[in-house]
Structure 1
Amino acid sequence: MFTQEKRSKFSSEGSKDQNKIAQGTKIIGNLEAKGCFRIDGIVEGNVKTPGKVVIGKDGFIKGYLECENADIEGKFIGKLLIKNTLSLRSTALIEGEAIVAKLTVEPGATFNATCSMKGGVKTINNERGGQEQTQKGKEKSA
């Protein structure tokens, strides 16, 4: 039987685990986990995690993706909500809508999406008067 101390240690370690959807696997439905995802198969539905999601070259998601960071080599159609960095590799194909904090795109990637970039607080130096202005939670569109 687990003691309270061992249970909490076991639970916190579980959030570091990576979930994998292998090539040849198709899931229709919603996925939610505390750990990261690597998707090399097909997911038709919503994927939500506080961790990172990697969509491999043969991976495909059609639906909604919410995560901290995403690294996409495969195909995504739907809505992306990435709290930090969305990285699109040269083989990526994205269609739909993206809300991100940071975006990196390799040459060759296809990005057919409306994109809103939401950042934190940034300090902008005003060259004319030398004054600093602060933008808080401003939205940028690409």
Structure 2
Amino acid sequence: MRKKRNTSFQDIESVISTGVEIKGEINSKGSLRIDGKVEGKLDILGDIVLGEKGYINGEIKTENIILAGKIEGNVYAKNRLEITASGTLYGDITCNTLIVEEGGILEGKTKMTKINEKSEVGKLTDFKKSKA
């Protein structure tokens, strides 16, 4: 039996359902679940949950992300990136915590770093290594 993890993910405020396709930039202060298709930049100050049928092609900036679908693009997660057994990510990632379940696919460069607490996820240039 798999142990349930204690996650700090926010409640989902918006959903992009199966069959919905969006092209363009998405900005949100809340959390987002994607079961459809998104092509473009995502700048989400909350969390992202990408369902098994979900697909993103573009750059992603967020607090936390659970990936069960497919991403083609770079991901910047302030805290945690979790790739489930059905998840696929083709792109470079920057995050604090990385979890890849058996069967999950990650193809790209990985940079694990503590993100400066004063930085906003939406500002890519604020990602810095903390002084150890």
* Pairwise same-fold verdict (TM > 0.5): yes
1:40 aligns with 2:29: no
SS at match of 1:91: coil
Larger radius of gyration: 1
Q: Which runs of 5+ in 2 are unaligned?
A: 1-9, 117-128
1:97-117 residue CA offsets vs partner (Å, 9 max, x unmatched): 101110011000011011101
Q: Which residue of 1 aligns with 2:130?
A: 137
Tell me the equivalent position of 1:115: 110
RCO (CA 8 Å, sep 6+): is it higher in 1 or 2?
2
Please tell me whether the aligned partners of residues 66 and 84 of structure 2 are also in contact (alpha carbons under 8 angstroms).
Answer: yes
Shift in Å, 1:26: 0.5
Alpha carbons of structure 1 residues 37 and 137: separation in structure 2 relative to 1, 3 Å: same
1:49 Cα offset (Å): 1.2
Q: 1:20 — aligned with what? A: 15
What is the TM-score with the length of structure 2 in the denominator? Answer: 0.78
Q: Is the 1:119–1:138 contact (alpha carbons within 8 Å) kept by the matching residues of 2?
A: no
Q: Deviations over 1:58-80 (max 9, x none)?
A: 00000011000000000001010
Higher strand share: 1
Q: Please, what TM-score do these two structures have when normalized by structure 1?
A: 0.73
1:52 paired to 2:47? yes
Matched to 2:96, the amino acid is A
CA-CA distance at 1:38 after TM superposition: 0.1
CA contact (8 A) 2:39 2:58 kept: yes
- The CA deviation at 1:119 is 1.7
Q: Is the 8 A contact 1:96 1:112 kept in 2?
A: yes
Superimposed CA distance per residue, residues 16-37 of structure 1 (whole angstroms, 9 cap, x where no aligned partner): 6611100000000000011100
The residue number in structure 2 matching 1:97 is 92
- 1:118/1:138 contact within 8 Å kept: no
In structure 2, how many angstroms separate the alpha carbons of the residues matched to 1:100 and 1:137?
Answer: 13
Partners of 1:47 and 1:58 lie apart in 2 by 18
Higher helix proportion, which one? 1
Root-mean-square deviation (CA, aligned residues, Å) is 2.1
Identity among equivalent positions (%) equals: 32
SS in structure 2 of the partner of residue 84 of structure 1: strand
| 2:48 match: secondary structure | strand
Taking the aligned partners of 1:81 and 1:29, their CA distance within structure 2 comes to 18
